[in-house]
Structure formats: C-alpha cells, structure tokens
Amino acid sequence: MEEKVRTYEYREGLEMFYNGEVLGEAVYSALIASTEDLTIQLKLSYLLQLETETKAWLRRYLLAAGMNVVEPDDIRTMGASLAATMNAMSWKEGMQAIYTIATDDLLPHYRRYADESRLRGRPDEAAVCDHMVEHEEAQAEFARRELDGKDFAYSVEPLTRHSKYPLEALAVTGMG
C-alpha cells in the first residue's frame, strides 16, 4: 500500500484521528470477542471505552470542518485484520505492539498536526490535536504499565483519567 503524503493540514489530521478511533474500536472489540480471559476482556474494554468516547468527541470537529462522520468499512476491515494478527501474540507482545504504534507512529504525526496548527495561528485546532496527543499517550502509558507488570488499577488509570464515562465503577471480583 502506498504511503499518503501528509500535509499536516487540520482536516487531514481530523480524518486520521477519526479513522484511528474507528480502527481502534474494531481492533479492541474483536480482541474482546476472541478471549475468554475476563481480566483481559476488562482491560480491552477500558481501551474500547476510550476509543468510543474519543470517536464521538471528534464528530463535532469533523462536522464543523465540513466533513462527514461516516465510519469507513475498509478501516473496520483493517481493524479486524490487525486484531487477527494480535490474536496470535502473547499479551505482552500485544502491549508492545500498542506501545510501539502509539509512540513511534501515531504520536509523532499527532504532535506535528498540533504544531502546524499553532504555526498557522489556530490555537482552536491545536487544542483538538493536543487532545488526541493526550489520548494516544494514555494508551501508550497503559501498554507500558502492562509491560512492566503493574496491577490492574494502576495500569488502567491513564485510560480512566481520559474517559468521560470511565468503567472504573465496574466491580469485578479478583481485579486489583
């Protein structure tokens, strides 16, 4: 697949952000469906919750920019394919993949969108981009904590901190 040349224009960033949330939802949903481990299901549910909330949050910015909020089928298909690849990995390998994708691929681009918005004198656009940087940082931090073998509550804390409707009230016996 040919790499798209990035211009770091705001609308391009919005499309990347939104499609990333659609992709993330597809990945995490498929991974939840593929495991019987209740602890892993719950951790993935926290990731799914953050993706869903962020996708909904982004819609007003897409609409304000004259864009549609259609969730592309090809992005969902790509998410299912990525989930199938991740299913063959151990939990730690999957967390390493999430960490690497966030830190090495997404965050540099997201930060650049924010920086370019500031250079264009658009603090409103930069704020949206900065929110997405924080969103990806939360997922990367979750993955790092999982890689470090931290306890459940500490691992999911970055996700709950960035959720408007966190799943933290969910009581599950044996979690902790």
Read off the pLDDT of residues 30-42 as tens digits, 9 standing for 90 and up. Answer: 999 999 999 999 9
Domain annotation covers residue 5: no
83: domain CATH number is 1.20.1260
pTM: 0.92
* pLDDT tens digits, one per residue of 123-167: 999 999 999 999 999 999 999 999 999 999 999 999 999 999 988
- Whether 176 maps to a domain, the answer reads no
Q: Is the residue at 85 inside a domain?
A: yes
Domain contains 106: yes
Q: Does residue 40 lie within any of the structural domains?
A: yes
Cα–Cα dist 28/47, whole Å:
7
Give the residue numbers spanning the domain of 96.
10-169
Residue 175 within a domain: no
Asked if residue 145 is part of any domain, the answer here is: yes
The distance from CA 49 to its chain's CA centroid, rounded to whole angstroms, is 10
Residue 104 lies in a domain: yes
